[in-house]
């Protein structure tokens, strides 16, 4: 029941996003082509090309017809043409998307995992030295802005120690394959990933620790102890399991934030992901690419949120009923 | 098997349990009752080894001191040998696992490797507590309170423990579910040691054969359930029972004044006790054995305030009272009921010294009353049936109420006395304005005069009031207020009340015990609820039959038997009283007399919780 309901709401959100990305450039004053392609591209265009584009997007027709042709074009993977890259927008994005997914996905997984474990252990030992050290350490870490951590890492490991590459996702033109390629990818990934994990970990840690502290006071923990459960079982199976719920919710809420975080990190490490792409498109005022990226990221965030929702229903049996 | 010795528990330097001694053998059950914060749950958690505070003393389980056992050994006992069902049913189950998973875990955690066995055992457990097999796959939020409680009981029973601790097993359950759970627990408690912790006296009574009353971390009274509930000896136990709504007692609910505190020197209850003496404030009373009861009170429990022993009294050479025996305890109401002319007022006046007793003794606060001086009247006051006997017609209202203060040399100033007079007048629902204070008795209505008499009796704060039909001149609503006032005084400072009345319905609501008088003898005596619901003496039965109800049905009063010999008996009776000493005083109206009843006068004998003077209820008839 709930699954269907939330799928519908995600669909509605998706359609809204499509409409916004369709309407925004068209509602701007002046030539819509200019809004879509940018002033410079428009100047460079031949009148024939302009006419062809106008016709292709049905720009002279009423909005409804325009929307239909927009959707049709999207279905064919046509998100416009990047004059800067001299390639279709879709192709440009698809080329850098995997790197971002790899970076953000791994960062979310690793930071959540570590944050939860540290949170559980710290919450269980509330007031003890381990807890105090972890708490102070992680809170001071969260005081640094994300790109700052990135720069520090880059300077220390990359520039000073020289043990990490300064830029890129692979060593260019090395023609590596197989295991060597994998190692090379990981080698490039380590620092940006580390930076992103360090940025994200404190939130998860604090949330888990707090829930852990309250959960440990719940009556069912006493029941577990009275059963004769071992400490480890109480910590993970009973209290920890319960502390997972708010973390998952928060992960969904923070996803957009993680992506903007990734943007800065990618720029700092010149990592060839969507973040760097967006940055460059901003510099080049490559409007079609910018719009494509925005549409793509929102869709990705939407998809991820939907998956988290599904995960949550599996984690908390009360959800299906309490709605 | 389970023995607790001088167990003390403190949280952050505050002592919560202050020396508990208990011992329980296999098959025994004990309920610990007491108000919130008394330390009941602390006791159970310290047995489980789950206490966060600091424990000293010993908890011996099969000879091993649990308090000195390392955690991993304790863990092996928990849930396997000693199991507990916790207080908060709604939150005691993990919300994210099914019932079945939680029960299976309880089995597997103690080393069982065979998952199929655990699953099968879980099925049996569910069936045993009466939970539907399919319910096993539900999550806690899908279950009702009773079903959750059953699931928790399954978890506790999973490893067939030797000790079962139940913390408020019936709280928050509706009456029918509660009955079902109690049945289930009673079945499961056999062959184990059961410790029930509850403030629900009904659940305690049904689940345990012994009850311990806990107050501020100490046991104040302990004894067999029925005995303790029928005859509480500690003032606190009585207070608890009086404030517990139930279908057994009939007296209005009464609370206990004040609040419990854990930081009290001396007897923990002394700040709220209405019979405390100097020693209560600095010495802690020991829990001492007294027959089958354990009691911790410097005064040996609720003291008998007034003891009338074997009193006979003559008026004009005619014996009116024949060997009357009654006791009135501190803070208690004893209703003396009986028809007109049975000798109730004579008894009251004999106690007050207005008639001298031909034989027998009277004790006030355990000291014989020989002469009645000022001290006596400061403790005992009487409200007469006829207000004219209480107030002199030469005094106005103010003087009449103030007079006792003057006589008893109260050092209070005139204005303080005036305050006091106005306060008691207000308490009896009379105005204290100057004009009213100047009225003389003949200006007052009967009801008003009676209330002035009551005010006069109250003004000295006596410990005992003997009230002879105090409210018969009042309308029902004022009567209710005056009686409420008496009960409130009883609650606040332990006022004892000897209430003489022929209104059983009224006595039923305000008295703890009832004594029935017939022709100068007590024929039946016992707890009010027992006398009203289960009268033994045929005379009591008729009194109750004609007591006010709110229905149109009427009952026939018992007619004098029209037997042949009746004529003779009647003349005998009228000739003098000596003959009435040779048969039962009820003989002429008794529906089923025995031959003995014509020859002997039955004595007051104990019969269950009653004392009754009737040959039909004398268990062994003397030959
Ligand atoms: N002063 C007295 N002189 C002679 N007989 C008395 C006196 N006072 C009481 N009696 C007798 O003693 C018996 C008991 O009287 P008592 O006043 O004690 O009865 P009671 O139970 O109080 O009745 P009531 O319900 O009317 O108050 C009665 O037979 C009564 O006539
Ligand atoms: S009489 Fe003294 S010892 Fe007994 S309960 Fe009252 S205060 Fe405690
Ligand atoms: Mg009378």
Whether residue B166 is contained in a domain is answered as no
Name the least confident of A113-117, B74-78, B581-585: B581-585
The pLDDT of residue B569 is 43
Name the least confident of A72-81, A300-309, B88-97: A72-81
CA A257: distance to chain centroid?
Answer: 7
Mean pLDDT value across residues A304-314: 84
Residue-wise pLDDT tens digits, B505-552: 999 999 999 999 999 999 999 999 999 999 999 999 999 988 888 888
Mean pLDDT value across residues B609-622: 77
Task: List the domain range (segments joined by +) for residue B308.
Answer: 304-519
- One domain for residues B358 and B377: yes
Contact of B72 with B27, CB cutoff 8 Å:
no
What sign for the dihedral angle of Cα A28, A33, A38, A44? negative
- One domain for residues B505 and B550: no
Contact of B53 with B83, CB cutoff 8 Å:
no
Does A311 lie at the interface with B, CB-CB under 8 angstroms?
no
Residue B558 has pLDDT above 70, yes or no: no
Mean pLDDT value across residues A258-280: 85
- One domain for residues B505 and B418: yes
- One domain for residues B463 and B344: yes
Residue-wise pLDDT tens digits, A30-60: 666 776 676 666 777 777 877 777 777 667 7
Please name every residue paired with B445 in a beta bridge, in sequence order, or none if there are none.
none
The ligand placed nearest to the CA atom of residue B319 is: 1
The pLDDT of residue B572 is 39
**Is there a contact between A317 and B141 if contact means CB atoms under 8 Å apart?**
yes
The pLDDT of residue B559 is 61
Which residues of chain B make contact with A315, given a CB cutoff of 8 A?
A: 96
The ligand placed nearest to the CA atom of residue B283 is: 2
Secondary structure (H, E, C), B176-208: HHHHHHHHHHHHHHCCCEEEEECCCHHHHHHHC
Whether residue B534 is contained in a domain is answered as yes
Residue B91 has its nearest CB partner, among A218, A315, A316, at: A218
Which of B491, B519, B547 terminates a domain? The answer is: B519
Share of chain B above pLDDT 90, in %: 64
Share of chain B above pLDDT 70, in %: 95
**Is there a contact between B95 and A233 if contact means CB atoms under 8 Å apart?**
no
- One domain for residues B64 and B201: yes
Going by pLDDT thresholds of 50, 70 and 90, the confidence category of residue B125 is very high
Residue B145 has pLDDT above 80, yes or no: yes
Q: What are phi and psi of B223, to 5 degrees?
A: 180, 175
Burial (0-12, 13-18, 19+ Cβ within 10 Å), A97: middle
How high is the mean pLDDT of chain B?
A: 89
Residue B575 has pLDDT above 50, yes or no: no
Residue-wise pLDDT tens digits, B188-219: 988 899 999 998 999 999 999 999 999 999 99
Residue-wise pLDDT tens digits, B19-72: 999 999 999 999 999 988 899 999 999 999 998 889 999 999 998 999 999 998
- One domain for residues B386 and B461: yes
User: What CATH number has the domain bearing residue B23?
Assistant: 3.40.50.300
- One domain for residues B273 and B309: no
- One domain for residues B574 and B593: yes
Whether residue B151 is contained in a domain is answered as no
Name the least confident of A90-99, B285-294, B426-435, B574-583: B574-583
Would you say the CB of residue B40 lies under 6 angstroms from ligand 1? Answer: no
Burial A235-257 (b: 16+ CB within 10 A, else e): bbbbbbbbbbbebbbbbbebbee
Whether residue B122 is contained in a domain is answered as no
How high is the mean pLDDT of chain A?
A: 83
- Give chain B's domain count: 3
Which helix (H) or strand (E) element contains residue B323? strand B318-329
Measured distance CA(B460)–CA(B75) in Å, rounded: 62
Task: Give distance in angstroms: CA of B377 to centre of ligand 3.
Answer: 21
Whether residue B109 is contained in a domain is answered as no
Mean pLDDT value across residues B231-242: 94
Residue-wise pLDDT tens digits, A198-250: 888 998 999 999 999 999 999 999 999 999 999 999 999 999 998 888 888 88
Whether residue B586 is contained in a domain is answered as yes
What sign for the dihedral angle of Cα B343, B347, B349, B354? positive
Whether residue B114 is contained in a domain is answered as no
Task: Give distance in angstroms: CA of A111 to centre of ligand 2.
Answer: 63
Q: Smallest CA–CA separation between A231 and chain B, in Å?
A: 10
In 3D space, the residue among A105, A75, A80 whose CA is nearest the CA of residue A91 turns out to be A80
- One domain for residues B588 and B441: no
Residue B609 has pLDDT above 60, yes or no: yes
Would you say the CB of residue B345 lies under 6 angstroms from ligand 1? Answer: yes
Going by pLDDT thresholds of 50, 70 and 90, the confidence category of residue B619 is low
- One domain for residues B348 and B486: yes
- One domain for residues B200 and B242: yes
Between A69 and B190, name the one with better pLDDT. B190
Does A127 lie at the interface with B, CB-CB under 8 angstroms?
no
Going by pLDDT thresholds of 50, 70 and 90, the confidence category of residue A29 is low
Residue B622 has pLDDT above 50, yes or no: no
The pLDDT of residue B623 is 43
Whether residue B168 is contained in a domain is answered as no
Which of B295, B315, B348 terminates a domain? The answer is: B295
Structure tokens at A174: 């090395």
Between B410 and B613, name the one with better pLDDT. B613
Between B122 and A7, name the one with better pLDDT. B122
Does A230 lie at the interface with B, CB-CB under 8 angstroms?
yes
Question: Domain limits of chain A?
Answer: 2-78, 96-315
Going by pLDDT thresholds of 50, 70 and 90, the confidence category of residue A313 is confident
Measured distance CA(B191)–CA(B205) in Å, rounded: 18
Measured distance CA(B93)–CA(B607) in Å, rounded: 49
Residue A106 half-sphere exposure toward CB, CA atoms < 13 A: 14
Q: Which residue of B has its CA nearest to A227?
A: B79
Structure tokens at B12: 């952050």
Assign domain A96-315 one CATH number from 3.90.1150.10, 1.10.3720.10, 3.40.190.10, 3.40.50.300. 1.10.3720.10
Would you say the CB of residue B315 lies under 6 angstroms from ligand 1? Answer: yes
Share of chain A above pLDDT 70, in %: 91
- One domain for residues B289 and B326: no
Atom of ligand 2 nearest to the CA of B220: 5
Does B137 lie at the interface with A, CB-CB under 8 angstroms?
no
Residue A259 has pLDDT above 50, yes or no: yes
Measured distance CA(B181)–CA(B190) in Å, rounded: 15
Going by pLDDT thresholds of 50, 70 and 90, the confidence category of residue B568 is very low
């Amino acid at each position: 029941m709930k699954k269907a309901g939330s799928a519908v709401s995600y669909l509605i959100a998706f359609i809204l996003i499509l409409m916004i990305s369709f309407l925004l450039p068209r509602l701007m004053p002046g030539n819509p082509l200019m809004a879509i392609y940018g002033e410079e591209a428009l100047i460079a265009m031949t009148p024939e090309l302009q006419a062809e584009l106008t016709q292709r997007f049905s720009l002279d027709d009423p909005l409804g017809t325009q929307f239909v042709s927009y959707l049709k074009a999207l279905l064919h993977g046509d998100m416009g043409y990047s004059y800067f890259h001299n390639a279709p927008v879709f192709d440009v994005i698809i080329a850098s998307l995997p790197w971002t997914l790899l970076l953000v996905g791994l960062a979310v997984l690793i930071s959540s995992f570590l944050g939860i474990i540290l949170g559980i252990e710290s919450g269980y030992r509330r007031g003890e030295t381990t807890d105090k050290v972890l708490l102070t350490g992680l809170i001071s870490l969260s005081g640094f802005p994300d790109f700052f951590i990135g720069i520090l890492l880059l300077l220390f490991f990359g520039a000073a120690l020289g043990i990490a590459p300064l830029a890129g996702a692979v060593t260019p033109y090395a023609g590596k394959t197989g295991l060597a390629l994998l190692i090379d990818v990981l080698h490039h990934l380590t620092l940006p990933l580390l930076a992103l994990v360090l940025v994200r970990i404190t939130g998860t840690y604090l949330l888990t620790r707090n829930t852990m502290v309250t959960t440990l006071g719940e009556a069912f923990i006493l029941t577990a102890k009275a059963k004769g459960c071992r400490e480890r079982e109480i910590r993970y199976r009973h209290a920890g399991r319960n502390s997972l719920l708010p973390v998952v919710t928060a992960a969904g809420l923070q996803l957009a934030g993680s992506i903007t975080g990734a943007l800065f990190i990618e720029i700092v490490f010149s990592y060839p992901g969507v973040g760097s792409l967006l940055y460059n498109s901003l510099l080049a005022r490559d409007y079609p690419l910018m719009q494509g990226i925005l549409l793509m990221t929102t869709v990705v965030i939407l998809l991820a949120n939907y998956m988290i929702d599904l995960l949550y229903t599996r984690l908390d049996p009360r959800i299906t009923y309490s709605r | 098997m389970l023995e607790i010795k001088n167990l003390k528990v403190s949280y952050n330097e505050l002592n919560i349990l202050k020396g508990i001694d208990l011992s329980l053998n296999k098959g025994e059950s004990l309920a610990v009752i007491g108000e919130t914060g008394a330390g009941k749950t602390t006791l159970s958690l310290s047995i489980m080894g789950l206490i966060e505070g600091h424990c000293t003393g010993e908890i011996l389980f099969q000879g091993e001191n649990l308090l000195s056992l390392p955690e991993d050994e304790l863990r092996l006992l928990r849930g396997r040998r000693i199991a507990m069902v916790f207080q908060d049913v709604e939150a005691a189950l993990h919300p994210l696992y099914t019932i079945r998973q939680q029960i299976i875990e309880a089995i597997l955690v103690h080393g069982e490797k065979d998952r199929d066995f655990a699953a099968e055992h879980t099925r049996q457990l569910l069936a045993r507590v009466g939970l539907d097999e399919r319910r096993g796959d539900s999550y806690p939020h899908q279950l009702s309170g009773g079903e959750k409680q059953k699931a928790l009981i399954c978890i506790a029973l999973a490893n067939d423990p030797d000790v079962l601790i139940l913390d408020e097993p019936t709280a928050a359950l509706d009456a029918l579910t509660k009955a079902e759970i109690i049945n289930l627990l009673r079945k499961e408690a056999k062959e184990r040691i059961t410790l029930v912790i509850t403030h629900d006296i009904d659940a305690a009574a049904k689940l345990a054969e012994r009850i311990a009353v806990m107050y501020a971390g100490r046991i104040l009274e302990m004894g067999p359930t029925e005995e303790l509930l029928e005859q509480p000896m500690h003032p606190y136990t009585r207070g608890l029972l009086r404030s517990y709504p139930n279908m057994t007692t009939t007296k209005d609910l009464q609370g206990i004044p004040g609040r419990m505190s854990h930081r009290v020197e001396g007897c923990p209850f002394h700040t709220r006790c209405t019979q405390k003496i100097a020693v209560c404030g600095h010495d802690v009373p020991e829990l001492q054995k007294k027959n089958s009861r354990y009691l911790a009170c410097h005064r040996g429990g609720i003291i008998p305030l007034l003891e009338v022993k074997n009193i006979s009294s003559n008026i004009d050479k005619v014996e009116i009272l024949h060997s009357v025996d009654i006791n009135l305890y501190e803070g208690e109401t004893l209703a003396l009921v009986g028809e007109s002319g049975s000798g109730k007022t004579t008894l009251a006046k004999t106690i007050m010294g207005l008639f001298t007793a031909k034989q027998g003794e009277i004790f006030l606060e355990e000291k014989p009353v020989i002469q009645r001086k000022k001290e006596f009247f400061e403790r005992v006051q009487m409200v007469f049936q006829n207000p004219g006997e209480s107030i002199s017609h030469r005094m106005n209202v103010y003087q009449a109420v103030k007079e006792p203060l003057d006589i008893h040399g109260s050092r209070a100033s005139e204005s303080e006395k005036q305050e006091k007079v106005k306060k008691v007048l207000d308490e009896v629902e009379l105005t204290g304005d100057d004009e009213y204070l100047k009225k003389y008795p003949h200006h007052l209505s009967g009801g008003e005069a009676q209330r002035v008499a009551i005010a006069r009796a109250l003004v000295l704060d006596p410990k005992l009031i003997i009230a002879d039909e105090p409210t018969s001149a009042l309308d029902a609503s004022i009567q209710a207020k005056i009686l409420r006032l008496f009960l409130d005084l009883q609650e606040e400072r332990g006022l004892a009340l000897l209430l003489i009345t022929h209104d059983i319905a009224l006595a039923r609501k305000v008295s703890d015990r009832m004594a029935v008088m017939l022709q100068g003898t007590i024929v039946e005596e016992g707890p009010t609820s027992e006398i009203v619901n289960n009268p033994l003496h045929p005379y009591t039965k008729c009194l109750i039959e004609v007591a006010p109800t709110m229905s149109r049905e009427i009952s026939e009063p018992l007619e004098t038997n029209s037997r042949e010999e009746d004529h003779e008996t009647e003349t005998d009776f009228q000739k003098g009283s000596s003959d009435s000493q040779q048969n039962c005083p009820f003989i002429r109206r008794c529906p089923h007399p025995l031959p003995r009843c014509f020859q002997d006068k039955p004595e007051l004998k104990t019969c269950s919780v009653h004392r009754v003077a009737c040959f039909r209820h004398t268990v062994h008839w003397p030959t």
